[in-house]
Each structure stands twice: as C-alpha cells, then as structure tokens.
Amino acid sequence: MSFSTCVVDGVYGRPAEGVPVRLYGMSEDHWRELGRGRTDSDGRISSSLDTSSGWALVRLELDLDAYFSTLGMTSRYPVITITMRIADASVSQLVSLLITPSSYVTFQVS
C-alpha cells in the first residue's frame, strides 16, 4: 500500500514545503514509527507500507510549529496528529490538509 500526504498553505495559497511529517503504525498495542520526512516543493510526502504487517491503524504527525516558525508565524496547533483506520490495505491512501496558523482541514482521498 502506498500512503501519501499533500499539505497546502492556506495563507499563501501554495503547497506547504518543508513540513516535518512522521508516520506511525499500530502494532501489538503500541505505535511504531514507519517513516519520517519533510514535504517537498509540491507539499507532498509519500511512503510505501508493507501490507503484510497488517497495519489497521496509522497515525500522521505534522509539525506545524516548525513550518510556520520559518515564515515568522506562530501556529495555534503546534503538532497535528491524525489517526486513521485502514479498511482496505490494497488501496492507496492520500490524506490532504489545508493549514493556516489558526486552523486546519483534512480529508482523505482513496
């Protein structure tokens, strides 16, 4: 299964480049880090997950403090944590976010 995130900066109306992102999977009642990185110039970050591991839950953490501080702003939401249930591991997952210093909206496209 592929898992990707697309982050758009709602202040400037452009992709949010450089947002630190961590991806976790739930395994045996604890979270295990599966990957980390920063969004690219298109506001995207992608990862391939081993579907044989049976990740029923995944969690994204996005560090908005790190992103907005580079723009001279303070975020009301320092870290956004999104936990998702994976119903069908054969389907690629895309989580999209629109962020501002005082709000965020997320939705999933699969």
Question: For 24-53, how does the pLDDT look when each residue is reduced to its tens digit (9 = 90+)?
Answer: 988 778 898 888 899 999 999 977 655 456
The reported pTM is: 0.87
Tens-digit pLDDT profile for residues 68-108: 999 999 999 999 999 988 777 777 888 999 999 999 999 87
Q: Which of 21, 22, 23 is nearest to 7 (CA)?
A: 21
Distance (Å, whole) CA 12 – CA 55: 35
Q: What does the DSSP assignment read for 46-100? A: EEE--GGG---EEEEEEEHHHHHHTTT---SSSEEEEEEE-S-TTS-EEEEEEEE
Could you give all domains of the chain from N- to C-terminal order, each with its CATH number? 2-109 (2.60.40.180)
Strands 20-27 and 14-15, how do they pair?
Answer: unpaired
